[in-house]
Structure 1
């Protein structure tokens, strides 16, 4: 059960991270584009982008203002009540939750890039989209990559509530074993130890990544 739970935990975290990063990029680009350009916009693009920005703000407010476990239960018992693919539903739920935090991380990275970079791209003949794609986003990702890696570690621990919908993860495995043995101490300590080892391992990788990024800047 622990091996199955470990596999589900890692798969769930990985899928949720992919969804969160993809969603976070889209949301952050909408918000940054509106914040930087809405005063200069004309034509039909302005109300469309304004509407998308309003939706993004509502999404960020709701997702960051409600517990992840409540979002998971709403997704499983209400939105996807007819589905029994627990990994898919949980991945989508945690991915949507993570996307709100990733969006703010990436938005902060983009906003930290000097305005001169955008002007340099425009002077070279790039449009706004091309400048963001080839000049701004690569620099922003490099700046926020360690923070995104830490978001992965936080997401790994947040998936411990997946057992609320009956998904066998590390925590749920320890809980079931404890119930069968009428002794929760050692099964739950084992679950905690597994999470601790995973977090220490990924923290080590994040540390190596940060050192490599620092050395590449010299």
Structure 2
């Protein structure tokens, strides 16, 4: 194999990597915010809101991302819905962010729902006994614990998002996959540019997974130390 093209086309891969990271980061933030809203609808007491959230989640999870981005990019303009350019972001980039955000929000909503429902019911009862209303209990007690329980799955979703973002190359977004295809077409090398792109994706996702493992380790140690400290205080109080 010949990787000599990297000396001339390395900037293509660097620019593509920056676009992939930026797209994934923006999508994660927007998808997380929307996912919280959908999650709260899914666990609400209203049957109508739960039904709307369920339809939203199931449709986005049960249809291919390629079809979703094709509907948004090609179908919406046919209905008169155009995506504007926002600052340095082109209309294609905005359409890609929109599609990936709503797709990711469906998965994030289910992850958050699972994390929140894993919190013991006694936490809600205890907070209500302290005078917190339902919304205060969710905001200060339940949701923070649910987020902690959901952290590994949320990061896994971000890792998947980095890989799935390569689909936006079909609408001309200059991400890593798109740049790899440009290099393939220019150098007439069918294999090597894809290997370079795959290695970059691997480095991004593997590094992130290791950072998550370190974060989980520190959180577990912090929780363990807090529990030990609480236990020692109780022992001292019993002796006194």
TM-score normalised by length of structure 1: 0.90
Residues 1:30 and 2:27 aligned together: no
CA distance, structure 2, for counterparts of residue 79 and residue 4 of structure 1: 29
8 Å contact 1:150–1:206 — kept in the other structure? no
Give the match for residue 9 of structure 2. none
| Structure 2 residue corresponding to 1:99, chosen from 102, 105, 112 | 105
CA distance, structure 2, for counterparts of residue 176 and residue 144 of structure 1: 38
Map residues 117-136 of structure 1 onto 2, 5 A cutoff: 117-136=123-142
Cα deviation, residue 187, structure 1: 0.8
Q: How many residues align?
A: 204
Map residues 1-218 of structure 1 onto 2, 5 A cutoff: 1-34=12-45, 49-80=46-77, 82-83=82-83, 85-218=91-224
- RMSD (Å) for aligned C-alpha atoms: 1.2
Cα deviation, residue 87, structure 1: 1.6
CA distance, structure 1, for counterparts of residue 29 and residue 76 of structure 2: 21
Cα deviation, residue 82, structure 1: 3.5
8 Å contact 1:5–1:169 — kept in the other structure? yes
Secondary structure at the aligned position of 2:158 is classed as: helix
8 Å contact 2:155–2:212 — kept in the other structure? yes
Cα deviation, residue 107, structure 1: 0.3
Q: Which runs of 5+ in 1 are unaligned?
A: 35-48
8 Å contact 1:146–1:209 — kept in the other structure? no
Higher Rg of the two aligned structures: 2
8 Å contact 1:8–1:87 — kept in the other structure? no
CA distance, structure 2, for counterparts of residue 193 and residue 92 of structure 1: 27
CA distance, structure 2, for counterparts of residue 3 and residue 68 of structure 1: 25
8 Å contact 2:43–2:50 — kept in the other structure? no
TM-score normalised by length of structure 2: 0.82
Secondary structure at the aligned position of 1:33 is classed as: coil
8 Å contact 2:20–2:176 — kept in the other structure? yes
